[in-house]
Structure 1
């Protein structure tokens, strides 16, 4: 058997996998297309066995396109019929593939061309082999990413609700007078669902105050003052055409219903995440400000920390590094964040840094120092640098299995 490698590029999509097999010199050996389901996977394995017969090794790569590649790759890496070729697996960053494709001046965009390009990327090397994720971390990652999406949807729905709220009620969400602590709280939502500015303005203050106290379960301070504020807001609100007013109010009520449903989902996810998080031996929750949800998000995206040789490697994986911008005697003060790593992990580190810097004096001092040093975008710069500092702390805790101790983990 000739000691050569067969490079196989797979362009994945919802319906099909387009496959291109290539030798080390760039000669295309064969092409095929298989459907994206289990039977198609069986066809692909048989085809790979046939094409790889004259070769010693097999290198198979796909582009990380949505989730279309995930079931196929998880199935292929467990396929015993391919093990005689000691296959190396690659899941490629689409940006890497696209930039490599720019080296071809007159390259077209087709599924066949994309499969060939992926095989070319493998052939030229300088890409890191893919390691199948640990199922425990992968399962936790599904839940934490789902929670992120729900949280983002809640924010979007609240912004849409606030737009309708302004049109109907004017300064309802921005009043400085005694009012609900949360305009999306149960008591506030009950008022918005029942009244329009016109009907509320006609309601006696005593009756309105009693209703507010009841829906607030007698926990609200000074419901009489809140009732007076509502009356003033109702009187100051612009009066829309009745048809437009009713449509906007209906839209507002539906947004509030959606927010309640999403918040219920979020609470359910928090419970499941906290339960599954207990199965991991970790100390991240000893950091002030990091609870089970943020701890689980970080751990799920990092995976086994042994994958990273240093905290710098983890920071690069998260995209919390900066590109140098220097030429001659010029060295730019503003350097762009790479943003080429794991966007979920970067988001979690930045969000966690925001919470930690409020609750931990050492991180608070570090943030304040970086804030003072910044010439531009002080808060964003200081927060991202604090997140980078948190990367080192998290890496140290996970590798050593120790609890949070600022004196050891943040020596300066």
Structure 2
């Protein structure tokens, strides 16, 4: 129960962080309505610590627009602790966005600046709390014997392992992996046409949302390391023109649930299969 309390609180903080970042982006749009688009083209993010600083602290939009590009790039590098590979490109993207955006009235701009500042502080605060929770989870989960079963999977760290284990409890509670998947809500109602691959049938909204979250996030990490899951994800991604990523990652999570069930039920470590592509 102690571990579950930590992992569920972390889930709530993640949701809160996402909502706050979305609110931040909405206010950035008011301040500079093409910034996100321009940064995306340059591989940057409006929510990097550097750009949050630029948007909320010592510089107005006009000051940034009028700043020489070389000076602007140097400022970005300094604020970003010299981590950017292409500071000039990002500086140019920001400058272009500022010049092509509409201008707010001073009163409105000041109010947006205040909101951005508050949201930036909230984002940093939540991120700090999540790090503290991750440390507490890491310290607690290592005592569980099943911990090593899940962390033997490439891409699964202490937090995802803890979130999964905290919700499953004893694997013997479930007669098979189908029951486990249903408990997590990773199942689909049969549609009237009889199709079994869930093309247009929505996923059931019942189930343990915490377990579903940790299984899906763990799967998204595993697919970056394990060729079998990479191939399966790509296959599912290519099958439909709509909701491509969401559908593919959930179907891959359903496959991943079988692996979790097998490892926990047999108390074994993960061994990569010889054949990495599922036909």
TM-score of the aligned structures, taking structure 2 as reference length: 0.85
Q: Which residue of 2 aligns with 1:405?
A: 271
Q: How many Å separate the matches in 2 of 1:361 and 1:202?
A: 48
The answer for the alignment partner of 2:156 in structure 1 is: 290
Instruction: Spell out the pairing of 1:332-371 with structure 2 (5 A cutoff).
Output: 332=195, 334-371=200-237
1:321 and 2:187 equivalent? yes
- Flag the 1:381–1:168 CA change in 2: closer, same or farther, 3 A: closer
Q: Do the aligned partners of residues 396 and 233 (structure 1) sit closer, same or farther apart at CA in structure 2, a change above 3 Å counting?
A: same
2:107 corresponds to 1:269: no
Distance 2:68 2:221 in 1: 44
Secondary structure of 1:289's counterpart equals coil
1:140 Cα deviation from its structure 2 partner: 0.8
Where structure 2 has 5 or more consecutive residues not aligned to the other structure, the ranges are none
Q: Please report how far the alpha carbon of residue 318 of structure 1 lies from its aligned counterpart in structure 2 after TM superposition.
A: 1.3
Is the 8 Å Cα contact of residues 374 and 382 (structure 1) preserved in structure 2? no
Question: CA offset at residue 389 of structure 1?
Answer: 1.2
What secondary structure is seen at the aligned counterpart in 1 of 2:127? Answer: helix
| Aligned mates of 1:232, 1:337 — CA distance in 2 | 42
Q: Unpaired runs of 5+ in structure 1?
A: 1-137
SS at match of 1:299: helix
CA displacement at 1:347 relative to structure 2: 2.1
Task: Tell me by how many angstroms 1:243 deviates.
Answer: 0.5
- Structure 1 position 162, deviation (Å): 0.9
Q: 1:157 aligns with which of 11, 17, 20?
A: 20
Compute the RMSD of aligned alpha carbons: 2.8
SS of 1:385's equivalent in the other structure is helix
| Separation (CA, whole Å) in 2 of partners of 1:170 and 1:388 | 39
CA separation in 2, counterparts of 1:204 and 1:408? 56
> How far off is 1:151 after superposition?
1.1
Per-residue CA distance 1:101-132 (angstroms, 9 max, x = gap): xxxxxxxxxxxxxxxxxxxxxxxxxxxxxxxx
1:299 aligned residue: 165
Distance of aligned partners of 1:394 and 1:225 in 2 relative to their CA distance in 1, 3 Å threshold: closer
Counterparts in 2 of 1:172 and 1:315: CA distance versus 1, 3 Å: same
Aligned partner of residue 218 in structure 1, secondary structure: coil
Between Structure 1 and Structure 2, whose CA radius of gyration is higher? 1
* Structure 1 residue 250 corresponds to structure 2 residue 114: yes
* CA 169–305 in structure 1, closer or farther in 2 if over 3 Å, else same: same
